Chains A and B, each alone.
Chain A
Amino acid sequence: EAGVTQFPSHSVIEKGQTVTLRCDPISGHDNLYWYRRVMGKEIKFLLHFVKESKQDESGMPNNRFLAERTGGTYSTLKVQPAELEDSGVYFCASSQEPMGLRTEAFFGQGTRLTVV
């Protein structure tokens, strides 16, 4: 069974540019989460999709971040325009049931974003 895959694995962009990160969850997992880890800080929750719907986006830092999950399959996270403080590792995770219902979440390898 394929795991959670993220693309690209690394991205280096200039401040002001746009970057789109992609996450393909495990097939059949309705729940998809985005997290990010800024250098030296903890992993922080960004948002949660249930199928194509945003269940909770309380962790999104500002309106420069836009997440979509059209069709309830893969998800994209767009940062536009990117700022220096957006640098970090963006993780995607998926689970069959919502987290907290005795289920584990499977994390992708992450996308390392560097804004210069």
Chain B
Amino acid sequence: GQQVMQIPQYQHVQEGEDFTTYCNSSTTLSNIQWYKQRPGGHPVFLIQLVKSGEVKKQKRLTFQFGEAKKNSSLHITATQTTDVGTYFCAGQGGGADGLTFGKGTHLIIQP
């Protein structure tokens, strides 16, 4: 079945440093979504990428979808303490209706 690999599993950064998480799918995706989950919370939708090579920005967050629609990245510029949480990518494709989630990247920020 479809698999989505996400790295790194944990990332410690100093406040103000940049952060990037990467996702790789075993199959071509129709779209990829990114979610953020705060400690004790639930996944909250950030963005959806559909087009090959798409790049979208939300303030300090930059999302990319690879040309082959098999990989994606989320980059945060100048992290702030409010960015703490787990970032999940979730791809759709391969026949199932639901999303296939990556394991998530836990972002820990040291002031």
Contacts and interface: CB of A to CB of B under 8 A. Distances in A.
Contact of B103 (A42, A99, A108, A109): A42
Contact of A100 (B30, B101, B103): B30
A48 B98 contact: yes
Interface in B46-103: 48, 50, 88, 90, 92, 95-103
Contacts of A110: 42
Given A43-B88, A104-B33, A99 B97 contact: yes
B26 to A, nearest CB: 13
B96 A42 contact: no
B32 to A, nearest CB: 10
Contacts of B45: 104-107
Interface of B: 4, 30-31, 33, 35, 41-45, 48, 50, 88, 90, 92, 95-104
Interface of A: 33, 35, 41-48, 55-56, 58-59, 91, 93, 98-100, 102-110
